[in-house]
Amino acid sequence: MSLRSFNPAFKQLFADRKPMRLHIHEMLNPHTVQQVLDGMRLKKLYPDGSKLDIIECNPGNGVFSSMVNYDLKPRNHILIESRTKLQQHWKKDLQALQGITGNKENFTLYPRDPYDWQTYLDLTDKDKIIQPVTKSYDQVHDELLLIANWCYDRGEKIVAQWIGCCGDRNWLQKYGKVRVICMAPSKTVSKFLSEPGFGKRNRTAMKRELFTDSKLLAIIANSANLPGEGYDPRVLIRDQPVAAYDNSIPKSTEMGIFEFYPSGMTTDAIAEMEYLLSPMYMNRSTPLRQILPKIVSGGEGMAESLPHDLLDRSPREFTTEDILAIAHAYDKWPFKPDYVDTIQLDEIDESQF
């Protein structure tokens, strides 16, 4: 395989140091990264790098970062990294790169926490390192791309929040339909991308289907394992992800890469009944007709306005049409509480239900 995306300037940089073993998993084999990038076809999606800003969270050792950069040749490539050792590593590499290429790659290290919402506000509004333009939601934003590696414990929670932002049209999604390329453990990706009726289907998977367009791009496993065994077969058949091997991935885990960006639906479609989703998906294997009386005052009466086949389905089986039908019935329900009384002031980890 030709390493067409490998920047020659990084060859010596990678040779001069040993990769750090981190609590976050990543690809270290350039051939694996090239296989993944060939499958993504990002150059076709972003043909004019002179107008493209890339924000990358947790770039780690930088093999993927350097190759996607060489592929797209962006106007700016912001590396958001909070770990001190990796900040030092990137500072050293970028200083060396300045001497080799003059940093024509346009890398900028932003030593902040990518988990923190304020990081993105400061990046664009306070420090003004990039100032994205706002574009129509009619098509994917062609001047802004977000890449993130969330292959560690708290990553699942932030990915669920980012999916929710597609429905809320806030955070970076306020600028338009911004593509997010996300790396996460397969146990997370297989859950969030699951279709109705699959055993792992949860509330975040439902919201992902309702508020985003998404696709499974790749599955990376240790060569001792077979990639993709825990995924919904329908997703594998539909998306035809790249299956690749990289022995930097421990045998005990697997990494999935998927993309998502806002669809045409927003949270307004289910706003009034959204507070019911938590108790519903806590009982995701229970038929709706048994759940409603427990979570809605007079729920038996509300059930009369819903189709019998929907009432017999469990939340794990709900389609987007089912959720919208429930929302429509709830909107017409005369005994529903005032909306302000349903707002949940405590933070809920949506990824778990």
For residues 176 and 283, state if they share a domain.
no
Residue with tokens 């998927």: 258
How many domains does the chain contain in total? Answer: 2
DSSP symbols for 297-332 = TTHHHHHTTS-HHHHTS-GGG--HHHHHHHHHHHHT
> CB-based burial of residue 328 (10 Å sphere; 0-12 exposed, 13-18 middle, 19+ buried)?
middle
Query: Which pair of structure tokens corresponds to residue 170?
Result: 């806030």
- Asked whether residue 237 falls in the same domain as residue 283, the answer is no
Compute the Cα dihedral for 302, 307, 310, 312 and give only its sign.
positive
Sheet with 177-185, side-by-side order of all strands: 107-110, 76-80, 53-57, 140-149, 177-185, 254-262, 212-221, 242-245
Q: What is the pLDDT of residue 347?
A: 45
220 & 285 share domain = no
Which residue range forms the structural domain that includes residue 332? 267-352
Quick one: 87 and 60 in the same domain? yes
CB 8 within 8 A of CB 100: no
The answer on 150 and 14 residing in a single domain is yes
Beta strands, E only, 229-307: 242-245, 254-262
Would you say residue 3 lies in a domain? no
* Same domain, residue pair 100 and 172: yes
What is the CATH number for 286?
1.10.8.100
> In this structure, is residue 4 part of a structural domain?
no
Cβ-contact 255, 187 below 8 angstroms: no
Neighbours of 152 (CB within 10 A): 14
State the Cα–Cα distance between residues 314 and 330, nearest whole angstrom. Answer: 17
Among the candidates 262, 295, 330, a domain finishes at 262
Task: Using the 3D structure, point to which of 221, 241, 262 is the last residue of a domain.
Answer: 262
> CA dihedral defined by 109, 115, 120, 122, rounded to 10 degrees?
-80
**pLDDT on residue 296:** 79
Is residue 331 a part of any domain in this protein?
yes
In a domain, 63, yes or no: yes
Tell me: do 194 and 335 sit in the same domain: no
Which stretches of the chain drop beneath a pLDDT of 70?
A: 1, 16-24, 337-353
102: alpha, beta or left? (left if phi > 0; alpha if psi -120 to 50): left
Q: What's the burial of 73, exposed, middle or buried (CB within 10 Å: 0-12/13-18/19+)?
A: middle
Residues 54 and 136 in one domain: yes
In a domain, 292, yes or no: yes
Residue 346 belongs to a domain: yes
Q: Dump pLDDT digits (tens) for 2-40.
A: 899 999 999 878 776 665 666 568 899 999 999 999 999
From 200, 230, 262, the end of a domain falls on: 262
CATH number for position 88: 3.40.50.150
Of 317, 308, 263, 275, the closest CA to residue 289 belongs to: 308
Q: Are residues 240 and 313 in the same domain?
A: no
In a domain, 1, yes or no: no
Q: Which two tokens stand for residue 284?
A: 């995701």
Please report whether residue 62 resides in a domain: yes
Q: Are residues 298 and 241 in the same domain?
A: no
Note whether 277 and 328 are same-domain residues.
yes
Residues with Cβ within 8 Å of 245's Cβ and at least 6 positions away in sequence, in order, are 32, 220, 221, 222, 223, 227
Residues 68 and 82 in one domain: yes
